[in-house]
Structure 1
Amino acid sequence: MVDLEQYLPILIFLFIAAGLSALFVFLPMGVSRLTGSHAPTAEKLSEYECGFPAFDDSRSQFDVRFYLVAILFLIFDLEAAFLFPWAVSLDFTGWTGWATMVVFLVELVIGFAYAWKVGALEWD
C-alpha cells in the first residue's frame, strides 16, 4: 500500500498555488471596482486587436491571411525557442546536434522563401 503522507507537501503546494493564482486574478478586479477606476466606456470597449467589430454570427467568413500570419508567427517563434537550448547544449550534442540544427534551419529557410514567393507576407 502506498503511503499517502508523502504527497501532503505536494497537496499543500497546490492549494497555496491555487490560492495565490486566485488572489492575483481577483484582487485587482476587486480593487478597481472599489476605487472607482472600473468605468467602462465606449472607447474602452471598442475593438483593439483585430481592428474590426465583432461579427453577429460566429460562422461569418473573413480573410484567411489572419490565419497565415498566425501560423507563420508560430513557426518562426518555435524556431527561436529551439535555437536557444540548442546553442546552450551544443558542447554536449557535438557535430550530430550541429548537423541536425543545420537541417532544421535549412527547412525553415525553404519554408520562409516559399511563403515570401507566394505572397503570404504581403498585406494589402
Structure 2
Amino acid sequence: MITMMFTAMIALTLTAAIMILTSLLSKKINEDREKSSPFECGFDPKSSARLPFSLRFFLIAVIFLIFDVEIALLLPMTIVMTTSSMKSWLTISLIFLTILIIGLYHEWNQGSLEWAN
C-alpha cells in the first residue's frame, strides 16, 4: 500500500514538474508582425483574414454534432437489448428518445433548423 502511494506521489510530482517546465519554456518572448499576420504566399494580405462567419451555419453545425453523438449513443442499444431485461431497456430507450424528440421540437420551434428566413 505504501509502495503504491509512493509511486503515485512520484508520478504526480514528475507530471507536475514536466507541465510547469513546458509552460515556462513554451512562452513566446517576442511578438513578430510577420509571424502573427496571415500567410498568403509571402505577399501582404489583400483583405482582412477575419471574415464574418455565418451564425446560422454554426448553429446548424452544432445541432448536427449533438444529434450525431446521440445517434452514436442509440446504436449500441440494440446490442444491450439482448443482455438486459426488456422492461428496463424499453424504459431507458423511451426516456432517451423522448428527450431527443423534445430537443428536436424545441430547436424546430425556435427556428434554428431553418436555413433561410
**2:80 equivalent in structure 1:** 89
- Aligned residues, how many? 69
**2:112 equivalent in structure 1:** 120
Distance 1:67 1:78 in 2: 17
1:79 corresponds to 2:86: no
Distance 1:61 1:98 in 2: 46
Distance 1:120 1:61 in 2: 19
Q: Provide structure 1 residue ranges, at least 5 long, that are not aligned to the other structure.
A: 1-54
Q: Which has the larger radius of gyration?
A: 2
RMSD across aligned C-alpha pairs, in angstroms? 1.8
Give runs of aligned pairs for residues 1-124 of structure 1, distance below 5 A: 56-58=48-50, 60-94=51-85, 95-124=87-116
Q: Report the alpha carbon displacement of residue 56 of structure 1 after superposing the two structures with TM.
A: 2.7
Distance 2:98 2:55 in 1: 27
Q: Which has the higher contact order (CA 8 A, sep 6+)?
A: 2
Give the TM-score of the pair, scaled to structure 2: 0.52
Give the TM-score of the pair, scaled to structure 1: 0.49
Q: Report the alpha carbon displacement of residue 108 of structure 1 after superposing the two structures with TM.
A: 0.7
Distance 1:122 1:98 in 2: 33
Distance 1:99 1:71 in 2: 28
Q: Provide structure 2 residue ranges, at least 5 long, that are not aligned to the other structure.
A: 1-46
